[in-house]
Structure 1
Amino acid sequence: MATPEPRAAEVALRFCDAVYPGATTVILGGSSSTGRRTATSDIDLLLIGPPSALAHAGADGAESPRSEARVAHRFGERFDAFAYTAEGFRDWSERDFASLRPVLPFLLTEGHPLRVGSEYDELYRWSADRLELGPQQTAHQLELRRYAITDLIDDLMDATEPLAAAAIRADLFRDLAQLALLASNSWLGSGKWLARRLSAADPLSAEALREFARTPDQTEAAERASRLLDRLGGRVDGDLVR
């Protein structure tokens, strides 16, 4: 496990004691947990505890709060804090799994524990077991994604308006990256996490997309996308029943 940035760990516990003193499990996530913080990095925190540990009614609006997400500035730092009861953590994690982007389970299993309560081991095992299964997409689900990518490649080939071409390229990059991840039974991410997860799961596809992103010529970019799609199962033309 990577060593967390010392100041981040210190102020994270100070923030927790000040705002969520009842939290029994405190996990430091993101770049703060790996010692790779930059000047603009915030501090990601996952907190788990009884309902009394949550300062306000949760996102689900329940009278007895089960979850809360807040951005706060304390001690010269910005905190992105996600606070849950054990039940709330499971519920929101299920939504993450359904979206194919299990942010919370990864935060729990890849973050650095600063404090662990009695619920930690069970939630960690539950999260790790689900993550290990992967998204398990069917052949038809992957085919639908290839069908959409086929259309995007054709649209990029035909695009004449620069703004439309840029939008198509952005969608094509994202959709190819997601297809590559799902084809390798790997979970999705967004932004920098999409790139990081793809680089770890499928380095060849990651490099192909780097070249796609570097290619200024629209036709050549479309051809690079086509070659990557060929590696991932090929074009799908015609109608598909969704």
Structure 2
Amino acid sequence: MSTPPLDAANPANVALRFCDTDYPGATTVVLGGSSSTGRRTATSDIDILLIAPAATFADADPADGDRAVYGEARVAHRDGERIDVFAYTVEGYRDWADRDFASLRPVLPYLLTEGVPLRIGTEFGELRQWSAERLARGPRLSAHQLELRRYAVTDLIDDLADATDRLTAAAIRADLFRALGELALLTANAWLGSGKWLARRLAAADPSAVAQLTDFAAEPGNTEAAAIASRLLERLGGRVDEDLTR
């Protein structure tokens, strides 16, 4: 596939030009993130997931063959753009995707399944189907694992209600916001996200939690914010005050 003429306003062209220069052997190239969803802003970077033969990677041993586990994540700057690169062999992708699933934040599988393919290799369909099937299963936490998270949220709510200085309260609020958001996602059998992706995943999985967390974030009073958090926790299974084995 030939690379289109460079157009700084078109992240797809920038991505392909970059891959042709830095990863000329790449067989699959996927544009992800805000560049693929129409949410791109002036400060957005360009996210690229690519699959390439093992020989593409500097530390590769030719004896390992093309399905060896190689990969790298790096940040590059080209044509006035910051580019976040996720480059893997086929087996490297599977290995790192497995780690993503284990962390409950499957960044790579979402990049592959939700991104825009700019170049499609023979491995693309199989990897995308494998990733989509794993994503569709959800994180599937046990009742005990969810209980542990509810216990942590219970503790944070009590700490916030008792907080007496602004710095301590701010630290607790940040931890409580994330813990509640993650609990809401996992209760809905949805994968986790961080930063803006926490908000986006919540909007898709539990809009009611989004409304309550928005109220929590906007409430200046610690006691009142703790009460909002308690109401959300009640909907997600309730407080955990009894004995608990970790």
For the aligned pair, the TM-score class normalised by the smaller chain equals over 0.9
Q: 2:172 maps to which residue?
A: 168
C-alpha displacement at 1:65, in angstroms?
6.6
Matched to 1:112, the amino acid is V
1:13 has 2:16 as partner: yes
Q: 2:181 maps to which residue?
A: 177
1:57 has 2:59 as partner: yes
1:92 has 2:96 as partner: yes
Q: 2:30 maps to which residue?
A: 27
Measured in 2, the distance between the counterparts of 1:65 and 1:18 equals 22
Matched to 1:219, the amino acid is T
1:1-242 to 2 correspondence within 5 Å? Answer: 7-54=10-57, 56-57=58-59, 66-242=70-246
- Contact 1:147–1:236 (8 Å) recurs in 2: yes
C-alpha displacement at 1:57, in angstroms?
3.2
- Contact 1:57–1:67 (8 Å) recurs in 2: no
TM-score of the superposed pair, with normalisation by structure 1: 0.93
Matched to 1:17, the amino acid is D
The gaps in structure 1 that reach 5 residues or longer are none
C-alpha displacement at 1:238, in angstroms?
2.8
Which secondary structure state, in structure 1, belongs to the residue aligned with residue 117 of structure 2?
strand
Matched to 1:121, the amino acid is G
Task: Give the stretch that moved more between structures: 72-81 or 99-108.
Answer: 72-81
TM-score of the superposed pair, with normalisation by structure 2: 0.92
- Contact 2:12–2:118 (8 Å) recurs in 1: yes
Measured in 2, the distance between the counterparts of 1:88 and 1:71 equals 18
- Contact 2:139–2:189 (8 Å) recurs in 1: yes
Matched residue pairs, number?
Answer: 234
Q: 2:3 maps to which residue?
A: none
Matched to 1:154, the amino acid is D
Q: CA RMSD in A?
A: 1.6
Deviations 1:121-171 (A, max 9, x none): 110000000000000011111111001110100000111121111000000
The share of aligned pairs that are identical, in percent, is 70
C-alpha displacement at 1:36, in angstroms?
1.8
